[in-house]
Structure 1
Amino acid sequence: MTCSESVTIVSKSTVVPSHPSAMDDLKLSVSDLPMLSCHYIQKGGLFTKPPFNSSTMISYLKDGLSNALTQFPALAGRFVTDSSGYIFITCNDAGVEFIHATAKNVFIRDIISPIDTPDVVKEFFSYDRTVSYKGHFQPLMAIQVTELADGVFISCAMNHSVTDGTSFWNFFNTFAETCRGVKRITISPDFSRDSVLISSAILKIPEGGPVVTFNEKEPLRERIFSFSRESILELKSKVNNRKFSTPASIELLGKQSNDPYKDGKMVSKIENWIRNAVSVSKPQTINKTDSMAVEISSFQSLCALLWRCVTRARKLNSTKTTTFRMAVNCRHRLEPKLNPLYFGNAIQSIPTVAVVGDVLSNDLRWAAEQLNKNVKDHGNDTVRKYVAEWESNPRTFPLGNFDGAMITMGSSPRFPMYDNDFGWGRPVAVRSGWANKFDGKISAFPGREGGGSVDLEVVLAPETMAGLESDPEFMQFVSNC
């Protein structure tokens, strides 16, 4: 038994699939390999206390996890590097780690009430700041269940070279389904490896393995900014220069809400949020005559607001270049399209670049137009261009804020983060660990109430966060002032 100031580890064990895997080795793709230098993804849900005792809950969750791993056998495997330098997931049923912990002095209100995310939340996750390359030597995933005074936090740390956010939440929601005893699993992951993402290029690993490319110890503040359905609609109306209204039919973050899944409709909903994913690439000049005819989406509007206000809070020189970077889901952008349930990483990181003076002196629509143009441009040809560029120079992903003027948007408000119920209700909140956090890292979550509401998990240098909190243009749209 080990403990920290707030969290006590009660037990650790290994959970294996309920049935042996017959799956062949899975080769890491050109989207998987760059993530070897990134931390394991750390996400989890805060739940009320279940209506049964601790030992029953732990047994119940372990059984559900074992059944879920049968559907996702790759997560119970390990990395292997062959003699040619190719890296694979071997589906050897080695299992995943399961940690049972307690934090009996921590209440739900202690997590959701403070302005800044409390440090104790980071203790609810295992494999803290673990680089994904270590999947050669340790499990590719760990589940930690932490019992609180009046609730429970269920977290998942998953190797980022194995999954992106799409695959992560597909698994997490399947885990919840199997715990509820669902016999016919809604999601059947696609493990095919026959697209342009599977390459003959070899990534050369430095001695000792890759390391993260940002300062893991820099002082940071992290807080959740919530945006209601109404504030998102108001912001979108402003950016599109029209009168604010709230008809039920108006587009909200990809024409779908974040309400719980209904039986039989999981796949179609996933296809919707995959199809409507927001992406960005290099900015191009937009014809002024045509610009007002362009419909700026809700999320593009929110990203533009964030880009402009964080840039202002940083007090940068007007001639400096600022970059807004976002991960793009490529499943629906490739031709032929990948299965929406393709398992693995199918993402590319695309920067939108502009001069600080342009971002701050033009109206909000100008910044949004840069993002909107790149959404439309990032199709099959662009995806394949990025694949070819990586093949010509295989490398891990340089994550961080290298010039003090970068913003990186991760996750998505379209991910079904609240569509998991382990048997006693949906999450009260969704939170993340220390993984891949640096000045300018933003993660977008759906709001719990659904309907197009959004939570932004914002990580900034303390002085920049203070500037953002005092920015009236930004704070007028924030719902949890």
Structure 2
Amino acid sequence: MTCSELKSSSSPSSVTVVSKTTVIPSQPSTIEDLKLSVSDLPMLSCHYIQKGGLFTRPPIISTALIALLKEGLAVTLTHFPALAGRFVTNSLGYVHITCNDSGIDFIHATAKSVFIRDILSPTDVPDVVKEFFTYDRTVSYKGHFQPLLAVQFTELADGVFIGCSVNHSVTDGTSFWNFFNTFAEVCRGVKRITKSPDFSRNSVIISPAVLKVPEGGPVVTFNEKEPLRERIFSFSREAILLLKSKVNHRKLSNSAVEMLGKQSNDPWNNNKDGKMASKIENWLRNAVAVSKPQSLTETESMAVEISSFQSLSALLWRCVTRARKLNPDKTTTFRMAVNCRHRLEPKLDPLYFGNAIQSIPTVALVDDVLSNDLRWAAEQLNKNVKDHGNDTVRKYVSEWESNPRTFPLGNFDGAMITMGSSPRFPMYDNDFGWGRPVAVRSGRANKFDGKISAFPGREGGGSVDLEVVLSPETMAGLESDPEFMQFVTSC
């Protein structure tokens, strides 16, 4: 592959590829072939995951840093040998990862005219960010013919970006961030990694069903060329707690509001363990006055505690639906990806390597989402998440086995929202030796009107960043929605 083929399709390009090399594990793999599961196989029609971190400029020179990263990758791959393998489909139609140490791509690139402020300051995420990743819009099925992972190191004018493109049929967010965290640990000089992945393949999600792939391989199920806008909306921990109190029908006293406002300037708020957020939330429980329920139904409803993230998701569902100006009689769908590792019985290892996610759809009439209060929408999401236990996970597996298929990703009726990623992922626990990321960003992969990705805020403690991808018209409506924007801390 030539340097020009590795560049983004945007022109003129701000990014120049300096070199591309193959990195193999520093020790030979001893792991047998890994069969793809009922959570892995549907992702064969999805793009490679593209996520990475923006960092300030390292203190060491470029040549030494490149050598350090390559050496760190080689060591990390010995703990994650699946990423250095390839897909193989056997004579029965089963797809496996063969851990054959074929290696991954490492790309060194430069963008010397791009500054950190150019990435963080604009209203919309600038197009140059898409050039910080390779395998642009590559479908995961191509893991049969090319590496399952590529790492691109891009030097900026005053910083660097480390971007990973990883096959979505090999990892979900949990597995990906464990790899990325481990990569950073190794480069930082940690001799013994803290979280070893689990490669067991002995659960119900390892199925005897065969996915029949069309000639030429599966393709994505959404329009890759539709016009889109992408913004990062940030929500402070104080804003999230205020939203949660509203959804749970708690009335904040004046002293509570004043106290929350003061916390925004308190250095203790920067505690990444979130101790301050817990302190505020506990204080809120004692400081709020709950309105007197008007009926038994309301009493029962109020017994349900809506989480912070469900509150934020409900707000997004309601405001995006309003911005789309849909017919009140139309149905709207909000999809949330859930981790099944702890939902199955027996449970999977928390560090099970692979996909162990399912997509939960919540469907409602547009009129119901818009005419009821925010709690109503949050309750619909809450109920579906709560109900997604062992029996439901197994039901999803059984339904897939009866009709094996790839995942239909997209906004097919103009009224769908898909929430991916998670604010619980340790995206900022990545110090390669010169400090944590300034920001986390993603590439062009799997983006369509209504695709939302949730990231933790850099300050931690319960803050959340939403990467929102919408049609230009809908984004303009969301930006002018006072119910939504009152909780936005920064964009």
- Cα distance in 2 for partners of 1:437, 1:218 equals 10
Q: Match of 1:319? A: 329
Residue 22, structure 1, aligned to residue 33, structure 2: no
Q: Match of 2:61? A: 53
Residue 159, structure 1, aligned to residue 130, structure 2: no
- Cα distance in 1 for partners of 2:377, 2:343 equals 23
- 1:113-144 Cα distance to aligned partner (Å, 9 max, x none): 00100000000001010000000000000000
- Cα distance in 2 for partners of 1:26, 1:259 equals 40
Aligned residue identity for 1:352: T
SS in 2 for 1:121: helix
The percentage of aligned residue pairs carrying the same residue is 83
- Cα distance in 1 for partners of 2:297, 2:194 equals 45
- 1:140-167 Cα distance to aligned partner (Å, 9 max, x none): 0000000000000000000000000000
Structure 1 position 260, deviation (Å):
5.9
Aligned residue identity for 2:316: L
Residue 393, structure 1, aligned to residue 403, structure 2: yes
Aligned residue identity for 2:464: V
Q: Match of 1:198? A: 206
- Cα distance in 2 for partners of 1:145, 1:96 equals 14
- Cα distance in 2 for partners of 1:479, 1:181 equals 36
- Cα distance in 2 for partners of 1:260, 1:434 equals 29
Q: Match of 2:281? A: none
1:78, 1:92 within 8 Å by CA — same for their partners in 2? yes
- 1:230-260 Cα distance to aligned partner (Å, 9 max, x none): 1001000101111334899xxxxxxxx9966
- 1:263-298 Cα distance to aligned partner (Å, 9 max, x none): xxxxxxxxxxxxxxxxxxxxxxx9544101111100
Aligned residue identity for 2:455: F
Aligned residue identity for 1:447: G
- Cα distance in 2 for partners of 1:167, 1:460 equals 27
Q: Match of 1:418? A: 428
SS in 2 for 1:351: strand
1:258, 1:446 within 8 Å by CA — same for their partners in 2? no
Query: What is the aligned residue count?
Result: 450
Q: Match of 1:281? A: none
Alignment of 1:124-143 (within 5 A): 124-143=132-151
- Cα distance in 1 for partners of 2:297, 2:208 equals 41
Alignment of 1:16-415 (within 5 A): 16-244=24-252, 245=256, 287-415=297-425
Task: Give the direction of change, closer, same or farther, for the CA distance of 1:259–1:438 in structure 2 (3 Å limit).
Answer: farther
Aligned residue identity for 2:78: T
Residue 472, structure 1, aligned to residue 482, structure 2: yes
1:258, 1:418 within 8 Å by CA — same for their partners in 2? no
Q: Match of 2:285? A: none
SS in 1 for 2:420: strand
- 1:48-88 Cα distance to aligned partner (Å, 9 max, x none): 00001110110010000000000000000000000000000
1:447, 1:455 within 8 Å by CA — same for their partners in 2? yes
SS in 1 for 2:59: coil
1:258, 1:416 within 8 Å by CA — same for their partners in 2? no
Normalised TM-score (structure 1): 0.92
2:272, 2:459 within 8 Å by CA — same for their partners in 1? no
Structure 1 position 5, deviation (Å):
2.0
Aligned residue identity for 2:371: S
SS in 2 for 1:218: coil
Q: Match of 1:279? A: none
Task: Give the direction of change, closer, same or farther, for the CA distance of 1:108–1:44 in structure 2 (3 Å limit).
Answer: same
SS in 2 for 1:144: strand
1:260, 1:419 within 8 Å by CA — same for their partners in 2? no
What 5-or-longer segments of structure 1 have no aligned partner? 249-256, 262-285
Residue 457, structure 1, aligned to residue 467, structure 2: yes
Task: Give the direction of change, closer, same or farther, for the CA distance of 1:260–1:89 in structure 2 (3 Å limit).
Answer: farther
Residue 429, structure 1, aligned to residue 417, structure 2: no
- Cα distance in 2 for partners of 1:335, 1:421 equals 35
- Cα distance in 2 for partners of 1:430, 1:475 equals 22
More helix by share: 2
- Cα distance in 2 for partners of 1:5, 1:80 equals 35
Structure 1 position 328, deviation (Å):
1.0
2:272, 2:461 within 8 Å by CA — same for their partners in 1? no
Query: Which has more radius of gyration?
Result: 2
- Cα distance in 1 for partners of 2:304, 2:316 equals 20
2:360, 2:385 within 8 Å by CA — same for their partners in 1? no
Aligned residue identity for 1:103: A
Structure 1 position 375, deviation (Å):
1.6
1:33, 1:203 within 8 Å by CA — same for their partners in 2? yes
- Cα distance in 2 for partners of 1:362, 1:371 equals 14
- 1:164-206 Cα distance to aligned partner (Å, 9 max, x none): 0000000000000010110110111000000000000000000
- Cα distance in 1 for partners of 2:444, 2:248 equals 36
- Once superposed, what is the RMSD of the aligned Cα atoms? 1.6
Structure 1 position 376, deviation (Å):
1.2
